[in-house]
Amino acid sequence: MSRRIAIGDIHGCLKTLRKLIEERIVLNREDTLYFVGDFIDRGSDSKGVLDYISRLTGEGYRIYSVRGNHEEMLLESLSDPKFIVGWMYNGAEMTLLSFGLDPGIFLTRETVHQIPEKYIQQIENLPYFIELEDFLIVHAGFNFYMSDPFQDHHAMIWSRDMMYDPEKADHRTIIHGHTPVSLDEIRQMTDDPNAGLINIDAGCVYTEYPDLGNLVAFDLDSRELVVQRNIE
């Protein structure tokens, strides 16, 4: 039986991701995985995460992903050096190190441009959101104060105070990440059949906080939540 499964923010935690997919979910080719973005930064193996997802796709697994704010910061740093400081503040050093690059004391645009083009293309090809018949997949949220919330890309990767408008969402449940929350909070959302918003960012990279440090997978149909503690 095929499953539709959404996975929260990964942030370079490759070992944890692999254990979740290969041992906890036990992914098969009839399943479909949806990632809510933030594959890179802060954790130790951003390159490995991108390689792993690319390999699964190449092997015929059904993988769909949206762009997170950390992917956006990388792309912005390639085009304009004024964005580099912000990206460095948000974990860029670990991403560059995973590519064998030395960010140095002052990261330059030239160093960022040493990331191989295939990874840049992989990130550039990520859409801001995915529409399903019954769900919307996005990294951060939608700006439902706009007449057309699907035009505000900034809100899709940065919003932290999303309200839910069932009419504008066409009564679809929104699956998102971006803001780390505890497992108790996630379970409250996934246990509520009427929840319009479900945040599945369990703060995988934040192991120093006792209520975070987990990577979760959420079955969109059975509403089962699978939890993998960070093993990096």
- DSSP state at residue 66: -
At residue 160, the pLDDT reads: 92
Strand partners, 198: 175
| Max intra-chain CA distance, the chain | 52
pLDDT at 227: 98
Residue 104: predicted pLDDT: 79
Q: Which residue has the tokens 């209520």?
A: 211
Mean pLDDT confidence for 92-121:
91
> Span 45-60, mean pLDDT?
98
For the chain, the domains span 4-229
Structure tokens at 10: 């990964």
Q: What is the CA radius of gyration of the chain?
A: 17
Give residue for tokens 């950390």: 70
pLDDT for residue 149 is more than 80: yes
pTM above 0.85, yes or no: yes
Whether CATH 3.60.21.10 fits 4-229: yes
Indicate left, alpha or beta for 104 from its phi (over 0: left) and psi (-120 to 50: alpha): left
Look up residue 128 and give its two tokens.
């801001």
In which band, very low, low, confident or very high, does the pLDDT at 50 lie, cut at 50, 70 and 90? very high
Q: For residues 34 and 6, is the Cβ–Cβ distance under 8 A?
A: yes
Determine contact, residues 157/68, Cβ cutoff 8 Å.
yes
Determine the Cα–Cα distance for residues 164 and 79; give it in Å rounded to an integer. 33
pLDDT mean over 154-165: 94
- The two tokens of residue 133 are 């018949």
Query: pLDDT tens, 160-199?
Result: 988 999 999 999 999 999 999 999 999 999 999 999 999 9
Tokens of 152: 């505000």
